[in-house]
């Protein structure tokens, strides 16, 4: 009998930990992070050797078809993160805390981050921003025993305030503020910080100015690691072409081609043939 769809083929081996990431970064190895939203792709990405899977709230864009990440809810994230965990039982899984789930007060933040860890089996959460109030939340969540990743630069949950997906930290004062925010997140106990849409030299100074790893997306080559949205990396989102994006496959073409071929076979009556019939 063939394996059931959705079942993970890999259940042996030790689950990855935050210490593995820290150790790799300390050895100067660049960290590879890719977003994941479902069990099938989580398994493939894990088998391809990524260091961590990020269940990004970009799920709202690339899976649900929203223009922003703002409509994504905690229940959506839990659903997708649990699927990712089932697909990649040994991967290090980080889950984005969606808009309004960690900004209101400490009690709600702790309960929401706790739910994510308890209900999905993920190891860490990610929050956006570097204000004093976010840093207090990071401290409280870390004290609860949950590793937290920060996110600075372009923070999509604030995209209306930032005027869209624009490079952040071009001016000296903004760059200095970003470094202060990064230090504040590090002091609060964050284990790593995503830097999104940041000039390469600013990301370089931040990476040099803190001792936790930075993970860049549109932040140049000097970060401790890089993350890409899986659909972008694989060329599924073929109408999205920001300067920083390098596509490593053209799956949108493959999907259209495969489905056209299936359609042609069905219309011609050549599928299913004897080999594919009982």
Which residues of this protein are in contact with ligand KIV, per CB under 6 A? Answer: 35, 54, 56-58, 96, 194, 196, 217, 227, 229
Spell out the long-range contacts of 7-10 with Cβ–Cβ below 8 A and sequence spacing 24 or more: 8/39, 8/43, 8/86, 8/87, 8/88, 8/89, 9/43, 10/43, 10/46, 10/47, 10/88, 10/89, 10/90
**What are the C-alpha distances in Å from 160 to residues 76, 131, 166, 198, 203?**
22, 17, 11, 18, 23
Sole residue written with tokens 């936790």: 212
3-state secondary structure at position 43: helix
For the question of residue 196 being annotated catalytic, the response is yes
Give min distance, CB of 67 to ligand KIV, in A: 14
Instruction: Tell me how far, at minimum, the Cβ of 162 lies from ligand KIV, in Å.
Output: 14
Omega prior to 272 cis, within 30 of 0: yes
State the minimum distance, in angstroms, from the CB of residue 57 to ligand KIV: 5
Contact of 131 with 154, CB cutoff 8 Å:
no
Nearer to ligand KIV, 99 or 179 (CB): 99
* Closer to ligand KIV by Cβ: residue 46 or 57: 57
CA dist 119 and 79 (Å) reads 9
Q: Which residue is nearest to ligand KIV (CB)?
A: 56
Q: Which of 128, 186, 196, 204 is catalytic?
A: 196
Least distance (Å) from ligand KIV to the CB of residue 203?
Answer: 13
Nearer to ligand KIV, 184 or 231 (CB): 231
| Distance, CA of 167 to CA of 144 (rounded, Å) | 34
Dihedral sign from CA coordinates of 258, 7, 51, 47: negative
CB nearer ligand KIV, residue 66 or residue 271? 66
Task: Provide, rounded to whole angstroms, the least separation between the CB of residue 91 and ligand KIV.
Answer: 16
Distance CA 242, CA 246 (A): 9
Nearer Cβ to ligand KIV (79/265): 79
Q: Which residues does the annotation mark as catalytic?
A: 196
């Amino acid at each position: 009998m063939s394996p059931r769809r959705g079942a993970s083929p890999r259940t042996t081996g030790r689950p990855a930990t935050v210490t593995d990431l820290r150790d790799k970064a300390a050895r100067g190895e660049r960290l590879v992070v890719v977003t994941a939203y479902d069990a099938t792709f989580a398994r493939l990405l894990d088998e391809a050797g990524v260091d961590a899977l990020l269940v990004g709230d970009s799920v709202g864009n690339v899976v649900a078809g929203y223009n922003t990440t703002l409509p994504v809810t905690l229940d959506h994230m839990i659903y997708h993160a649990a699927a990712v965990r089932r697909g990649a039982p040994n991967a290090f899984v980080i889950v984005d805390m969606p808009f309004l789930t960690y900004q209101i007060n400490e009690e709600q933040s702790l309960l929401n981050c706790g739910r994510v860890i308890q209900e999905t089996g993920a190891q860490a959460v990610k929050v956006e921003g570097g204000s004093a109030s976010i840093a207090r939340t990071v401290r409280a969540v870390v004290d609860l025993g949950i590793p937290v990743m920060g996110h600075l630069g372009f923070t999509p949950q604030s995209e209306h305030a930032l005027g869209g997906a624009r490079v952040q930290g071009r001016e000296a004062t903004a760059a200095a503020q970003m470094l202060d925010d990064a230090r504040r997140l590090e002091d609060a106990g964050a284990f790593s910080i995503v830097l999104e849409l940041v000039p390469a030299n600013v990301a370089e100074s931040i990476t040099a100015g803190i001792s936790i790893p930075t993970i860049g997306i549109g932040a140049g080559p000097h970060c401790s690691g890089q993350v890409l949205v899986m659909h972008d990396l694989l060329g599924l989102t073929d109408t999205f072409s920001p300067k920083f994006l390098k596509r490593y496959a053209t799956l949108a073409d493959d999907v259209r081609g495969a489905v056209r071929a299936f359609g042609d076979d069905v219309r011609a009556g050549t599928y299913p043939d004897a080999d594919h019939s009982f």
